[in-house]
Amino acid sequence: MHFKEIIGHQQVKDHLLQTVQDNRVSHAQLFLGPEGSGSLALALAYAQYINCENPSPTDSCGQCSACLKYQKLIHPDLHFSYPFFASGEKDVATVYVEEWRKAFLENPYLGLTNWRNQLDAGNKQANINIAEAHDIIKKLSLKSFEAEYKVLIMWLPEYLDVQGNALLKLIEEPPAKTLFLLVAENQDKILNTIISRTQLVKIFKLGHQDVKSFLIADKGLSEERAHEIAFIADGNIQTAIDLLEEDTNPYFNLLINWLRFVVTDAGLQLIKTSEEDLSKLGRENQKNFLIYAINMLRQIVLLQQGLHDLVLIQGQELDFVKKFSDNFQLEQLEAAIELLEKTHYKVERNANPKILFLDLSLQLVLIFKYKTIPQGTQYI
């Protein structure tokens, strides 16, 4: 993986390159960024650059023995750890390494749901078990085979749970020339004892233009279609790739109808929409729909505040935003956005979707029809 292959993040790339050139490579680093932002790809490009035999000031050479092996994920001193859906307590990540290589090489921006589908894991719980922690200790205690650095890239250390404590001593006092690169999405779910032993590399979500340019250049989309998908994806390349299979925006009409029922307090229609439409989308589509709804309301706020240059939508979406902005106040929009964000969090935590979306709908009725701003609402 070359830095030049990764979308955006030039400032992060420059920082990582500088640490190598200044010989300031920290032995344990936490790459923290949202799903689909490219944090995993950045970690791999960084590791490849460190072990490249002929690096340039801006990237690895791509031609030396180390680079060629890194590009196929088969370098003997490159190790991966990741959540898996173990059928037994003794399973470790290397059991699934072929599936991992295939999934990453097809899409270095992959998310956990896509990884789950790759393993056909159904509803099994993802984790990084104690057997995997012990296997990591064993692998990294050995001398490097051919590279200067042994590298462990751990994707989603949030799934270590208490098993991560077995790695604390190794992370704090690793063997010489051993590099830990942890790639995470949610800092709150990582053991504090691990966070305190790592150097943070903060990675922000990709910008609208970065995603749009990627879709045009790499996927051959028209500018209009790329613009539409980039807006829905909200910086998540994995979501953008998933949306390529859709002929049109799958959320716009659903959002319009739902909000129409909300502002008119159409009780029976709200129940039907919550139970038959929203609750049956599936967890990832529910999350994407909520992000889309949040972004649409934020576009309304931008329009109301006169920040027309920052409004990203066009066509029928822009027409909707203009009409909606004429009828509601900033306080109402901010309260609705907060409710949507809380609901998104609950969807991630597997809350009952029928109850969750009906509860959300009824509280939005209070905000938009009766101008009642809920205070301290406790979600189910």
For residue 289, pLDDT over 50 is answered with yes
Q: What does the alpha-carbon distance between residue 207 and residue 235 come to, in Å, rounded to a whole number?
A: 6
The string of pLDDT tens digits covering residues 100-140 is 999 999 999 999 888 988 888 776 778 888 888 899 999 98
- pLDDT, mean of residues 178-186: 93
Q: Which residue has the higher pLDDT, 377 or 264?
A: 264
pLDDT of residue 360: 94
pLDDT of residue 375: 62
**Nearest CA-CA partner of 44 in 114, 99, 105:** 105
Q: Which residue has the higher pLDDT, 311 or 277?
A: 277
pTM: 0.84
The string of pLDDT tens digits covering residues 316-354 is 888 888 888 888 888 999 999 999 999 998 988 788 999
Domain regions of the chain by residue span:
3-202, 249-368
For residue 214, give both structure tokens. Answer: 């990627």
Q: What does the alpha-carbon distance between residue 78 and residue 73 come to, in Å, rounded to a whole number?
A: 7
DSSP secondary-structure letter at 309? G
What percentage of residues in the chain have a pLDDT greater than 90?
A: 55
- pLDDT, mean of residues 278-298: 89
- pLDDT, mean of residues 22-42: 94
- Do domains 3-202 and 249-368 share one topology? The answer is no
Least confident of 8-17, 96-105, 363-372: 363-372
Least confident of 92-101, 213-222, 269-278, 347-356: 347-356
pLDDT of residue 108: 94
Instruction: Quickly state the pLDDT bin for 374 (edges 50, 70, 90).
Output: low
Q: Enter the CATH code of domain 249-368.
A: 1.20.272
What percentage of residues in the chain have a pLDDT greater than 70?
A: 97
For residue 33, pLDDT over 90 is answered with yes
For residue 58, pLDDT over 90 is answered with yes
Q: What does the alpha-carbon distance between residue 297 and residue 340 come to, in Å, rounded to a whole number?
A: 10
For residue 218, give both structure tokens. Answer: 């790499």
- pLDDT, mean of residues 276-289: 88
Q: How many CA atoms lie within 13 A of 130 on its CB side?
A: 5
pLDDT of residue 379: 37
Reduced to 3 states, what is the DSSP secondary structure of residue 181?
strand
Residue 179 neighbours by CB under 8 Å, 6+ apart = 25, 27, 28, 29, 47, 50, 149, 150, 151, 152
Residue with tokens 């984790």: 127
Q: Enter the CATH code of domain 3-202.
A: 3.40.50.300
pLDDT of residue 88: 63
Give me the sign of the Cα torsion angle 294, 297, 301, 306. Answer: positive
**Nearest CA-CA partner of 152 in 94, 81, 101:** 81
For residue 71, pLDDT over 90 is answered with yes
Residue with tokens 């300031």: 24
What is the pLDDT of the chain when averaged over all its residues?
Answer: 89
Instruction: Quickly state the pLDDT bin for 378 (edges 50, 70, 90).
Output: very low
Instruction: Quickly state the pLDDT bin for 87 (edges 50, 70, 90).
Output: low
As separate numbers, helices (DSSP H) first and strands (DSSP E) second, the chain gives 17, 5
